[in-house]
Amino acid sequence: MPELPEVENVRRGLSALITGKTVAAVGTDWEKILVGGLAAFNQALHGATVVAIDRRGKYLLLRFDNDLTLVSHLRMEGKYQLVPDTDLPHDRFVHVWFTFTDGSELRYHDMRKFGRMRLTDTGTESQVVAGLAKMGPEPTEADFAAAAFYQAVHKRRAPIKAVILDQTVVAGVGNIYADETLWESKLNPAQPANTLTRRETNRLHDAIIATLSRATDMGGTSVHTFVDATGRRGGFQEQLHVYDREGTPCDRCGTTIVKTKVGQRGTHFCPHCQPLRKRELA
C-alpha cells in the first residue's frame, strides 16, 4: 500500500502535471471506485479546472475551481498516469479516466480495484470521509508533538507496531515504515505500547519524523509496484534495514533479520537489536 512518502510524491507529480487543466469528461469501467456514481462525477466536474492538489495522511485532495474537492485513496495498488492523447489504448488495469479539454487524459490504474474517489465541498472533507475525520497529526516537527504521542502510546496495551499503524495516532505510517522506524528505535514491534519509557517513545517519535521525511525526499519506496505520477520508481528501497529483508544480516549487528506477524501484519525485525522486554504494564 502506498504510504505517506509515496502519496506525497504522487501529489507532487500530479501538481506539476495537471494543475490548470480543465475536465471535459470522466469515464470508468468500474463504477464502484467513484463513490456516488459516474453521472454525479461528470455533472460536478465537467468544465471544472484543477487549482491545487493537497495531501492529508494517505489521501490525495484534488481541488477544483468550483469549490469541490476530489478525495482519492489509492489503497493497495492505485496509481495515476497522465497521457498526452486519449487515443492511446487503455491497459486492463485502467479503471477511471479524466479527459481534459486539451486532449490529455489522467488515468487511474488499480489492479485490485480497492481505491476509492469521493467528491466533497472544499473544506468539508473531514465531515464526509471517516478516515479524515479521526486522522492524527502529520509526522512533522510542527504538527507531531512528542508529549502528545507519549500520552497516546501509554493509553494502549496493544503492540507498539499496531499503535503507530493506527492513523488516529499519527498520519501516514504503514507497514514498511512501521518496521523501519521500530528498527531505528531499537524497539520490538510486539512490545506492549504502555510499557515503553518516555525516552523510548521520544526516540520512536523522532525516528518516525526522520524516516518518513528521508523516504519522501528519495521518492518513496518501490518494493512492489509503486511508481509516482511521472512513472518513476522510488529510491528508499535501497536503504531498507528490515522490511522485506528476512534471512539477511542486520545492518547494525549482523544478526539474521526475521519475519513474523504482529496484529496479522507481516513484520520484520532484528531479534538482537529489538528484544522483547518483559516489563510490568503501566
> 140 pLDDT exceeds 60?
yes
Report d(CA 222, CA 73) in Å as an integer.
18
Q: 134, 207 in Cβ contact below 8 A?
A: no
Q: Let me know if 4 is exposed, middle or buried by CB neighbors in 10 A (0-12, 13-18, 19+).
A: buried
Of 62, 76, 80, 69, nearest to 119 by C-alpha is 69
pLDDT in the model for residue 175: 94
Domains of the chain listed by start with CATH number? 4-133 (3.20.190.10), 146-269 (1.10.8.50)
Report the share of the chain in percent with pLDDT over 70.
Answer: 98
Strands 116-121 vs 68-73: parallel, antiparallel or unpaired:
antiparallel
Task: Say whether 201 sits in a helix, a strand or coil.
Answer: helix
Whether residue 281 has pLDDT greater than 90: no
Q: For residue range 105-138, what is the model confidence (pLDDT) as tens digits?
A: 999 999 999 999 999 999 999 999 999 999 999 9
pLDDT in tens, 210-235: 999 999 998 888 776 678 787 877 77
In eight-state DSSP terms, residue 200 is H
- Is the pLDDT at 80 greater than 90? The verdict is yes
What is the amino acid identity at position 81?
Q
Which residue's entry shows cell 519509557?
197
- Residues with a known catalytic role: 2-3, 58, 265
